[in-house]
């Protein structure tokens, strides 16, 4: 089984690239972030033609997350308990794999910049609520995969020049501690479980030739609960997507379940 996560930076603007990706890689489930559309305007039919059913938590012009899946997803939930904002940043579902019921959660964490604004306060609040949710979730089901755009650079090797980001909301120490807090609940950064190299990025800004200079960062992740880590065969980053025509500034990460 192949799971993929991709911040597409507008599902409608990027629809041709997404369709081409689905035809080429044929993931069983694609988790998308920053779809930037309301549920009613989501391109359902484009995915139906390829054999995918869509599950959407959309928002006009901003944010938004979705699953498109070849397999049936159940118990769809788009609520983060305690989040009083109207921002669409989470969707979760369950699916059967062998004899296990896997909880799959797709997130788009707030960016948080600039750090002296309410945006940063909201990011910290959102992460605190998400940690509380995961603690409850893992007490009910030990088989959890969390994927998406975390907007967190976990470590020095996950960005081209960490010193430039010490006061950035993606790399601030207290934000990286939140990532570690999630890991300590009982999760693994599954990409790092298989890959220890630096210069492995999932995002390159559109500005200043970042892609050409490889000025990137790794902010998109798959965190898997320890209970199913042995079921994960590999996690890779599909860098080719960044060199497409009209690309997203993110690329897909792909999680292969054995």
DSSP strand pairing (144-149 vs 100-108) = parallel
Q: Is the backbone peptide bond immediately before 82 cis, with ω within 30 degrees of 0?
A: no
Give the rounded percent of residues in the chain with a pLDDT score beyond 70: 100
Residues in the chain, total: 258
The pLDDT assigned to 198 comes to: 86
pLDDT at 150 over 90: yes
CB 138 within 8 A of CB 181: no
Nearest one of 8, 49, 56, 62 to 32, comparing CA atoms: 8
pLDDT at 168 over 90: yes
Paired tokens of 157: 């090797």
Give residue-wise pLDDT tens across range 195-219. 988 889 999 999 989 999 999 999 9
The pLDDT assigned to 197 comes to: 85
Give residue-wise pLDDT tens across range 59-74. 999 999 999 999 999 9
The strand ranges marked E within the chain are 2-7, 29-33, 53-57, 65-69, 74-77, 90-97, 100-108, 144-149, 187-189, 203-204, 216-217, 220-225, 232-238, 252-257
What is the mean predicted confidence (pLDDT) over 28-45? 98
Count of Cβ atoms closer than 10 Å to residue 211 Cβ: 18
What is the mean predicted confidence (pLDDT) over 48-67? 98
The pLDDT assigned to 178 comes to: 97
* Domain locations along the chain: 2-257
The pLDDT assigned to 98 comes to: 86
3-state class percentages of the chain: helix first, strand second, coil last, to nearest 5: 30, 30, 40
pTM above 0.85, yes or no: yes
Nearest one of 190, 120, 186 to 151, comparing CA atoms: 120
The pLDDT assigned to 255 comes to: 98
Residue 100: pLDDT band (50, 70, 90) is very high
Give residue-wise pLDDT tens across range 109-121. 999 999 999 999 9
State which CATH number among 3.30.56.10, 3.40.50.620, 3.60.10.10, 3.30.1330.90 fits the domain covering 2-257. Answer: 3.60.10.10
């Amino acid at each position: 089984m192949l799971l993929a996560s991709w911040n597409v930076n507008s599902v409608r603007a990027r629809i041709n690239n997404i369709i081409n990706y689905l035809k080429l890689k044929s993931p069983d489930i694609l988790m998308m972030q920053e779809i930037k559309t309301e549920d009613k305007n989501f391109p359902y039919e484009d995915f139906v033609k390829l054999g995918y059913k869509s599950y959407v938590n959309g928002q006009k012009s901003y944010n938004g997350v979705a699953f498109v899946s070849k397999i049936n997803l159940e118990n769809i939930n788009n609520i983060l308990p305690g989040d009083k904002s109207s921002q669409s940043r989470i969707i979760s579902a369950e699916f059967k794999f062998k004899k296990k019921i896997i909880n799959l959660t797709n997130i788009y964490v707030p960016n948080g910049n600039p750090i002296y604004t309410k945006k940063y306060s909201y990011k910290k609040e959102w992460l605190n609520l998400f940690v509380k949710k995961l603690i409850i979730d893992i007490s009910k089901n030990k088989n959890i995969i969390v994927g998406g755009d975390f907007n967190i650079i976990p470590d020095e090797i996950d960005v081209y020049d960490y010193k430039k980001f010490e006061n950035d909301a993606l790399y601030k120490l207290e934000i990286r501690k939140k990532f570690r807090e999630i890991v300590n609940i009982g999760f693994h950064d599954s990409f790092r479980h298989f890959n220890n190299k630096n210069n492995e990025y999932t995002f390159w800004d559109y500005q200043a030739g970042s892609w050409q200079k490889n000025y990137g960062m790794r902010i998109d992740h798959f965190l898997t609960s320890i209970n199913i880590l042995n079921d994960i065969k590999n996690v890779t980053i599909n860098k080719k997507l960044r060199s497409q025509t009209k690309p997203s500034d993110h690329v897909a990460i792909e999680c292969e379940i054995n």
